[in-house]
Amino acid sequence: DSGVTQTPKHLITATGQRVTLRCSPRSGDLSVYWYQQSLDQGLQFLIQYYNGEERAKGNILERFSAQQFPDLHSELNLSSLELGDSALYFCASSLGQGSSYEQYFGPGTRLTVT
Amino acid sequence: EDKVVQSPLSLVVHEGDTVTLNCSYEVTNFRSLLWYKQEKKAPTFLFMLTSSGIEKKSGRLSSILDKKELFSILNITATQTGDSAVYLCAVVLIQGAQKLVFGQGTRLTINP
C-alpha cells in the first residue's frame, strides 16, 4: 500500500458524459501527478500539481482538467467523454516537485466509456 | 518528438535465469531515468538514475545509465516467478517544468 488513495476504483459511463476522479496523496507529499494508461498508448503523463499550482503538463486533452485543493487532494475532470478515453487513470504523489523525488502510485481508477 | 523505446516488448524465461531489459531514449533536456515494476495494479518505483556509469543495486536487481549512448539497462539475476511483471522505463525532462515520458514497457514472464 503506497498511501495514495484514489476513488472510485471503477467507473462506467456513457459517451458525452463528464466524470471526476479523486486522489489523496500520501501524508506530507506536496506534488500530485496524473497518468493515463491504455492498452494502445501505454502509460502517459497528463499533468502535475505542486502545493496547489500546476507545475507540468503532458499529453492532456483540452476536454480534461485538473486541480489541487488546499488540503492537497486533487481531482481530474474528464468531460465530453469518448470511447477512446476508456483507460486506467493513476494518480501519484511525491514530497517535492523535482525529479529527485520518488513518486508513489495509487491503485488507479478504471474508467469505461460505453 | 521525445521518444523512449524499450526492448524486448515481451520476454519469457525460466526461473533462475538472468535477464537484461533495455531502454533507449531520444529526448531533449534529459534530467533522469526511472524504472518501475508494474504487476496487476499500480507501478512501483525501482530505481532513479541521473549519472552515467553508476550502477544502482537493490537485491537481485541492478540498473545503469549510459548518457553518451542514451540508454539504460535493468538486470535481474536468479529470477523468481514473483519477478513476472511489466517493467516500465520513464525519462524525466525539464522543459520549464518537469515532464515524464514512458516507454511501452517490457512484459517479463518467469516460468517455474
pLDDT digits (tens, 9 = 90+) for A39-51: 777 889 899 999 9
Residue among A48, A57, A105 whose CB faces B42 most closely: A105
For residue B35, what pLDDT is reported? 95
Reply yes or no on whether the pLDDT at B38 is more than 90.
Answer: yes
Do the chains contact at B44 and A2, CB–CB below 8 Å? Answer: yes
| Beta-carbon-side half-sphere exposure of residue B19 (alpha carbons within 13 Å) | 25
Q: Residues A12-33: what's their mean pLDDT?
A: 96
Interface test with A, best of B31, B65, B93, B102 (most A CBs within 10 A): B102
For residue A7, what pLDDT is reported? 96
Contacts of A103 in chain B (CB under 8 A): 34, 45
Rounded to 5°, the CA angle A80-A83-A84 comes to 100
For residue B98, what pLDDT is reported? 67
Cell of A90: 493513476
Q: Write the DSSP string, A11-74.
A: EEE-TT--EEEEEEPPTT--EEEEEEEETTTEEEEEEEEETTEEEEE-S--TTEEEEE-TTS-E
Reply yes or no on whether the pLDDT at B21 is more than 70.
Answer: yes
**Distance in angstroms (rounded) separating the CA atoms of residues A105 and B23:** 21
Q: Which residues are bridge partners to B29 per DSSP?
A: none
Residue among B90, B98, B100 whose CB faces A98 most closely: B98
Q: Give residue-wise pLDDT tens across range A85-106.
A: 999 999 999 887 665 677 889 9
Reply yes or no on whether the pLDDT at B61 is more than 90.
Answer: yes
Average confidence score pLDDT of chain A? 92
**What is the least distance, in Å, from the CA of B102 to any CA of chain A?**
6
Average confidence score pLDDT of chain B? 92
Reply yes or no on whether the pLDDT at A57 is more than 90.
Answer: no
CB pairs under 8 A between A and B: 56
Contact A29, A87 (CB under 8 A): no
Burial class of residue A53 (count of CB atoms within 10 Å of its CB; 0-12, 13-18, 19+): exposed
Residue among A57, A58, A108 whose CB faces B42 most closely: A108
Q: Residues B32-40: what's their mean pLDDT?
A: 91
Reply yes or no on whether the pLDDT at A74 is more than 80.
Answer: yes
Task: Find residues 14-73 of chain A whose CB sits inside 8 Å of chain B.
Answer: 33, 42-45, 48, 55-58
Q: Give residue-wise pLDDT tens across range B78-95.
A: 999 999 999 999 998 876
For residue A96, what pLDDT is reported? 77
